Amino acid sequence: MNDPQPMLSVSGLSKTYRSGERDLTVLHDVTFDIAEGSTAAIVGPSGSGKTTLLGLCAGLDLPSSGTVRLDGADLGRLSEDERALVRNRLVGFVFQSFQLIPTLTALENVMVPAELQGRSDVRNRARDLLETVGLGERMGHYPVQLSGGEQQRVALARAFINSPKILFADEPTGNLDADTGASISDLIFELNREAGTTLVLVTHDQVLAAQTQRILRMRGGQIVQDVYSESSLNR
């Protein structure tokens, strides 16, 4: 198999936390690449290190050892502000608990990442994105006035506002009922296809994971299985 240039390259990644008197290793020597434009799911039981891995891949935290390269940039060599810039330009996030800023309207929540770049012409693009996710009528609403599914749609619109190269989604349907969850996952894959974004999902949901091209299965802080789905092998 001849992979294109990897979007995300993880090599020998370990993370150890100090817990009281002893060290707790939550990630142990993890190595993998994610190709640009591909989709992957990280699955595994609770406490297997999925979320820690996601945080390190997105530059939210620094590893104890090993490297993470995002679009060729070694995150470990960047300062916190430089990592913030990488997150802003290259990365989109979708969280399990939506994580909208409660004091901002739906539209303002979507605009924030673009405004951080100093752009002022973002309102129309944010409106378009909200229309796309089906919230054209609810742009002025605050998060508490929206249902869980609606909040996650706003979060999706926010994730795509800066046309990120990679989207990290942490249990995006975990807080939603089956029907709403299905419609959100459809939306994620649809937006992803349209924008050609690389997608990394952390999930318990086997159905959702099965929709990706590749499944990385974790246990005890290590990748114990790395499976490419048929659709991706056939591609």
Partner 1 sequence: MTFFHSWLWKMAWRDSRAHLKRLFLFVASIILGVAAMVAIGGFGDNLESAINDQAKTLLGADLAFRSQSPFPEKIEALADSIGGEQAREIDFSSMAFFPAQNATRLVRIRTLEGRFPFYGKLESQPAGADGFLRQHSGGALVDQNLMLQYGLALGDTVRLGSAAFEIKGELKKIPGQAEAGSAIAPTIYIAARDLGNTGLIRFGSRAVYRLYFRLAESQDPEKIREELDPQLRAERIRASTVESQKESLGQAMGNLYRFLNLVAFIALLLGGIGVGSAIHVYIKQKLNTIAVLRCVGATIRQTFLIYLIQTFAMGVAGALAGIALGLMIQQFIPAVVGDFLVVDLEMFISPAAVLQGAGMGLVLTLLFALLPLLGIRRVSPLLAIRASFAENSDRDPLRLGVIGLIAAAVVAFAILQTQSVAVGLGFALGLAGALALLTGAANLLMWGVKRFFPGRLGYLFRQSLANLYRPNNQTLVLMLSLGLGTFLIATLYVAQEGLLNQVALTGSGNQPNLILFDIQTDQNTAVREMVEEHQMPVLQNVPIVTARLSRIKDRSVTEMLADSSQSPGRWALNREFRLTYRDTLIETEKLVAGTWVPEVAADQDTIPVSIEDGLAEDLGIAVGDFLEIDVQGVAMPARIASIRDVDWQRVQTNFLIVFPRGVLEYAPQFMVVVTRAPSREVSATLQRDLVQRFPNVAAVDLALILRTVEGILDRISAVIRFMAFFSILTGLVVLASAVITSRYQRVQESVLLRTLGATKSQIRIIMLLEYVYLGSLAAATGVLLSLASGWALAAWVFNIAYHPPLVAVGAFTGGVILLTTVLGMLNSRGIATRPPLEILRSEA
The residues that touch partner 1, with contacts defined as CB under 8 A, are: 51, 54-55, 58, 60-61, 80-81, 84-85, 87-89, 91, 93, 95-97, 99-104, 108, 112-113, 115-118, 142-144, 158, 162, 170
Q: Nearest 5 degrees, angle CA 122-CA 165-CA 97? A: 75
How far apart are CB 169 and partner 1 at their closest, in Å? 11
Measured between alpha carbons, how far is 67 from 29 in angstroms, rounded to an integer?
10
- Please name the residue that has the structure tokens 């939603």: 176
Measured between alpha carbons, how far is 156 from 184 in angstroms, rounded to an integer?
9
Q: What are phi and psi of 43, to 5 degrees?
A: -125, 165
How far apart are CB 95 and partner 1 at their closest, in Å? 6
CB closer to partner 1 out of 36 and 115: 115
How far apart are CB 98 and partner 1 at their closest, in Å? 10
Q: What are phi and psi of 74, to 5 degrees?
A: -80, 105
How far apart are CB 198 and partner 1 at their closest, in Å? 17
- Please name the residue that has the structure tokens 């190595």: 31
- Residue 102 burial (C-beta neighbours within 10 Å; 0-12, 13-18, 19+): exposed
CB closer to partner 1 out of 26 and 34: 26
How far apart are CB 230 and partner 1 at their closest, in Å? 31
Measured between alpha carbons, how far is 79 from 117 in angstroms, rounded to an integer?
18
